[in-house]
Structure 1
Amino acid sequence: MLPIMEIENGIIEQIAAAKLPYLRLVSSYGGELMGDWQGVIRALPAVWVTFKDSTAPEPLNTASTRFRTRLAFTTIVADRSVRSEAATRKGGPGNVGTYQM
Structure 2
Amino acid sequence: MPTPHLSLKERNAYRSLEDVVGCKWSAAVVGALQRGVVRPGKLERYIPGISTKILNERLRRLLEYGLIVRRDLSEATTLHVEYHLTPAGERLAGIIEQLHALQTEHDATRDAK
**TM-score, reference length from structure 1:** 0.26
Higher helix share: 2
Higher strand share: 1
**TM-score, reference length from structure 2:** 0.25
Task: Compare relative contact order (CA 8 Å, sep 6+) and give the higher one, 1 or 2.
Answer: 2
